[in-house]
Chain A
Amino acid sequence: MSVKISSKNLNLHYGEKHALKDVNLDIVENKITAFIGPSGCGKSTFLKTLNRMNDYVNNVKIDGEITLDGENIYDSRVDTTVLRKKVGMVFQQPNPFPMSIYDNIAYGPRIHGIKNKKKLDEIVEKSLKAAALYDEVADRLHTSALGLSGGQQQRLCIARCLAVEPEVILLDEPTSALDPISTLKIEELLMELKDKYTIAIVTHNMQQASRIADYTAFFLVGEMVEYGETKDIFSMPKDKRTEDYITGRFG
């Protein structure tokens, strides 16, 4: 069991707002780590610090350290394009580009310099298979990705993310816009993917966290209240606030 990403004394301010307070958390390799908590608790913000997507938000100030394989990702010498190639992200809303299914998947490899048509074909097929979407779209790879259903679009986004061969996948409430069956498919998919990738997922849905996550962290108003193995968090939380939240007393 090795630590892939480690956050040490991480503080984040949006202007005056102290959005993350001294977060210390280790994300373990080849496991699924879930971040739960009520809206506005900072769980999505924390997720975005892991691949520096917060760089694009105005007035953000970040102190502390996040290391990926021991390297500080907030070091001034870091190339964010390389970081994000290693740490991919899937968003809440399925958001394929307005291009064909094939071009969506090939986008990442292409920007990272792969031009060989045969190589791209292979990557597209492999990524779609890994995202359990290939059989459904094999005969219409060159039609618009916007014609897919919501669940298919989200699996396409996961495939698009896999195509650049990341080591870590961050998912920001990936199923909150989807129906139960699509949600189930994505959950099954994540369980399969964890053999090869390290996964961090933000979710509103506590059942989801208990179903799929190996580790769970509970956030509340910018603080990481409790972190541990999922079964411990849900069966015998140490903190009163965690207990109140998971038993549905607030949130």
Chain B
Amino acid sequence: MERKMTSIIANRKTKSMVEKIAAIIFTCCAVVSIVAVVGITAYMFVSGTPAIFKVGLTEILFSNVWAPTAADPQYGILNIILTSIVGVFFAILIGVPIGILTAVNLAEIANPKVRNVVKSAVELLAGIPSVVYGLLGILIINPLMYQLELMIFAGSKTHQFTGGANLISAILVLAIMILPTLINITETSLKSVPDDYRKSSLALGASQMQTIFKVVLPAAKNGIMSAVVLGVGRAIGEAMAILLVAGNSVNFPLPFNSVRFLTTGIVSEMGYASGTHREVLFTIGLVLFVFILAINLILTFILKRGGEDGQ
């Protein structure tokens, strides 16, 4: 009796074609994001550098006179850079303690009912469009700041009244906006701390608070640092909300000054800028881009070091 043979060689060509094409499609998809990153980087440098050669790097970075439309235009963005740095720094200073303690509450203390309420609040906070934060800032924070301003500067002849649209307003709005990032990442890293650490600490006679602050938080420090760095990234890149609440004129970043950030600097003038002015706006974009790049490098460094610790 003759047995019907199925060749193991049959269809090899068509099958391997399908496999290969699928692999190529996947690779192409993966390449898209690389192309995007490389493209953006290249484009930022190409479009951001001409103004540097025309105006001069020190003239742009270290002069504090911003008068792009004057007869004798000046393009110093020092105040804008300082505003971004100071604004983000204080937003982090306010946001980080609140964010970390909220995360501690969620991960370590809260009972399931409270946790669910807080978690959904935080998620909602993350989903609110930034322009809405700006609107709320205008409605709530700015009037309060104006009252404060009227009190503090009553009778002052030199102070330019801003109607409450000032640096503090921007910092407060930013601090709230970075909370979801801080809370979510910190909570995740607290949750990944092995329960053994808590048990051992409690078994040694430590109280719950001692356990949290002396064992759990230190064990989660890499995650918390990542949260802070990502919070900085979020804050420094935010434009819409602070455009609405910060007053948006170029000034040295003092609490009650109307100020302009790197992001809002671009947004508010790009519509009508031309020539060198327009090119300088691209240079501002480049400066912002370099900041973000630095933040990401720091983050990579932290995560890598965390990996080497074996935690």
Q: Mark B196-214, 1 if CB is under 8 A from A, else 0.
A: 1101111111110010001
Q: How far is the CB of B213 from chain A (nearest CB, A)?
A: 10
B residues touching A (Cβ–Cβ < 8 Å)? 194, 196-197, 199-207, 210, 214-215, 218-219, 309-311
23 contacts between A and B (CB under 8 A): A56-B199, A81-B205, A84-B203, A84-B204, A91-B196, A91-B203, A93-B196, A97-B197, A97-B201, A98-B218, A98-B219, A98-B309, A107-B214, A108-B204, A108-B206, A110-B214, A111-B201, A111-B205, A111-B206, A112-B205, A146-B310, A157-B200, A164-B205
A85 to B214, CA, bound (A): 17
A95: chain B residues within 8 A (beta carbon): 194, 196-197, 199-200
Tell me how many residues of A have a C-beta within 8 Å of chain B: 28
* B192 shortest CB reach to chain A, Å: 12
A89 touches B207 (CB 8 A): no
Complex: A98 Cα to B204 Cα, angstroms? 16
Whether A97 lies near B200 (C-beta < 8 A) is yes
Q: How far apart are A113's CB and chain B's nearest CB, in angstroms? A: 11
Q: Which residues of A contact B199 (CB under 8 A)?
A: 53, 56, 91, 95
A239 to chain B, nearest CB (A): 32
Binding site of B, secondary structure by majority: helix, strand, loop or mixed? helix
What is the 8 Å Cβ interface bit string for chain A, positions 74-114, against chain B (1 contact, 0 not)? 00000011111100110101010111000000011011100
Counting from the closest, the 4 A-B pairs by CB-CB distance are A95-B196, A85-B205, A89-B203, A84-B205
Quick one: CB contact mask for A168-197 with B, threshold 8 Å, 1 for yes?
Answer: 000000000000000000000000000000
Closest A residue, CB atoms, query B194: A95
Chain A contacts for B206, CB-based, 8 A:
81, 107-108, 111
A44 lies within 8 A of chain B by Cβ: no
Count of chain A to chain B residue pairs whose CB atoms are closer than 8 Å in the complex = 68
Q: Does A51 contact B (CB under 8 A)?
A: yes
Q: Enumerate chain A residues within 8 angstroms of B207, measured Cβ to Cβ.
A: 81, 111
Nearest Cβ distance between residue B19 and chain A, in whole angstroms? 44
Complex Cα spacing A221 to B280, Å:
78
Contacts of B204 in A (CB 8 A): 84-85, 88, 107-108, 111, 160-161, 164
B98, chain A: closest CB distance, angstroms: 26
Contact B196–A88 (Cβ < 8 Å): no
- Chain B residues with CB below 8 A from A93, complex form: 196
Which chain A residue has the least Cβ–Cβ distance from B219?
A: A98
Identify B215's interface contact among A51, A82, A97, A161, CB under 8 A: A97
A51 and B202 CA atoms in complex are apart in Å by: 10
Find out whether the CB atom of B219 lies under 8 angstroms from the CB atom of A97: yes
Q: Which residues of B contact A83 (CB under 8 A)?
A: 205
**Contact between chains at A108 and B205 (CB < 8 Å):** yes
CB-CB < 8 A to A89: which residues of B? 203
**Residue contact A111 to B196, C-beta cutoff 8 Å:** no
Chain B: minimal CB distance from A187 (Å): 21
Residue of B nearest to A112 (CB): B205
Contact of A111 among B194, B214, B309 (CB under 8 A): B214
Q: Are A98 and B205 in contact (CB under 8 A)?
A: no
How far, in Å, is B311 (CB) from chain A's closest CB?
6
CA–CA, A46 and B205, complex, Å? 19
